[in-house]
Amino acid sequence: MKSNILTIIKKEFNRVFYDRQLLFTTVILPGLIIYFVYSLMGDAANKMAQSDREENVAVQVENLPQSVAEAFKTLGDNVSVTEGAFTKPEIDALNDKSVNRLLVRFPVQFDSLVNVYEPAQGLLAPNVEIYYNSTNTATQRIYSMVCGALNNYENSISNRFDINRADSKEMRFNQADDEKVSGMILSKILPILILMMLFSGVMPIAQTSIAGEKERGTIATLLITPMRREELALGKILAISGIALLSALSSFIGIVLSMPKLIAANGGGELSFSYSTTDMAILLLVIISSVFIMTAAISLLSTLAKDVRNAGTLALPVMFGILFVCLISMFQNSVSNSLLYDIIPFYNSVTVLTALFQHELHLMNAAVCIAANIAYTLVSVWVLTKMFNNEKVMFSK
């Protein structure tokens, strides 16, 4: 019994490993694509920020008041501030995206107007006009800086109270651990990323291996050997899962390698990744059991399908189902510990992964999830065996 299962597994692996094209598309390409796309995204974001900082921007200020003159001097090395009035055609010229220029107009006597202004009088406050072009990212950046500087000045002259002013570095207002903060962020992104990665590994392999063999008439040749149908079912599911895990591993390596660039582009390495060996072991087990149940589901549908194309259509609802549970989990703030949720296929994997990244996982939940996934897989092997035995399923055209 064991040797037949091994023979089938070996054949399925040989099919992928000796076919350079298939090996490339299933095992190497996913990682490569993710690495290049993410790296390019990170690089592009980095470069954009970098070039904006390097571009020279001219700021012309009309009626520059004494009170904020200092703030304008500290806008940056490549920002040249000049004083002087400007005209309507000069404002219109900003329409040209390539003009790195900002025009700021203060009311005459700005400081005294501000001093006498009382909000209670119900009159309009003195207004500063800043003309810029938001499609020019360099001037957009300086615009934000000028707004910031002016807002700061406004706060400083009319400050009545502060919120969360840290008088010393020891003062902490947000009582969540840094670990939990980054856990919260990871738990929103990683479960959906992991499940989609696994699914995109499982789908093509299961379809070619089962619907493809059915379409090409090669599975009938296997059915005519004395091998038992359950051996074929188990061998197929184990082999497909194994190959899908390799494909997922490739995507995983792609993500890990491109992570530094992505994090750098998002403003530095604030994400702290602090998980124990137990966490990682549970992660691995949840991933493996999820691949099993995905393989089982797609294998059953591929067996029902007449050909590979049909199998693709039948697999769509499963994909939408997985997407749906991933989205639900993204919008859920807290993870329920109810064991009942841990027996709902796919949803259980998402909730356990979410809780794991949030450092709030109970071992019992993980155990029930993994056990449920394996139980569903075994039931699927049994159903698959029945299907392999059913001539209407196997030979209907």
Partner 1 sequence: MDEILTASGLCKTFNLSRKQQRIERTNARQKVAVDNLSFTAYRGEIFGLLGPNGAGKTTTLRMLSTLIRPDGGNAIVDGQSIVNEPEKVRAKIAFLTSELKLEDFFTPNYLFDFFSQLHGVDSAVAAERKAQLFSRFGIDKFAEVKVANLSTGMKQKVSIVISLVHDPDIIIFDEPTNGLDVLTARVVTDFLRELRSKGKTIILSTHIFSLVEQLCDRVGVIIDGRMVACGSLADVCNGLTLEDRFFELYKEVKGNEE
- Return the SS3 of 70: helix
Closest to 131 measured CA to CA, from 54, 58, 208? 58
User: Least Å distance between CB 136 and partner 1?
Assistant: 56
CB-nearer residue toward partner 1: 230 or 342: 230
CB-nearer residue toward partner 1: 229 or 261: 229
**CA 132 → CA 50, 99, 164, 215, distances in Å?**
20, 9, 33, 63
CB-nearer residue toward partner 1: 213 or 342: 213
DSSP 224: T
User: Least Å distance between CB 392 and partner 1?
Assistant: 9
Alpha helices in the chain, H assignment, sequence order: 2-17, 20-23, 29-54, 66-73, 88-93, 110-116, 137-157, 178-206, 213-216, 218-223, 229-265, 277-304, 308-331, 347-357, 363-389, 391-395
Q: Is 12 in the site for partner 1 (CB under 8 A)?
A: no
Task: Out of 89, 122, 217, 267, name the contact with partner 1 by CB under 8 A.
Answer: 217
* CA 211 distance to own-chain centroid: 31
Q: Is 21 in the site for partner 1 (CB under 8 A)?
A: no
CB-nearer residue toward partner 1: 116 or 224: 224
User: Least Å distance between CB 298 and partner 1?
Assistant: 20
User: Least Å distance between CB 243 and partner 1?
Assistant: 15
Q: Is 7 in the site for partner 1 (CB under 8 A)?
A: yes
Sequence-distant (≥ 6) Cβ neighbours of residue 311 within 8 angstroms: 207, 210, 211, 298, 301, 302, 305
Interface positions, 177-216, toward partner 1 (CB under 8 A): 213, 216
Q: Is 395 in the site for partner 1 (CB under 8 A)?
A: yes
Q: Is 228 in the site for partner 1 (CB under 8 A)?
A: yes
Residues in the interface with partner 1 (CB under 8 A) total: 23
Binding site for partner 1 (CB under 8 A): 3-4, 7, 11, 14-15, 18-19, 213, 216-218, 220-228, 391, 395
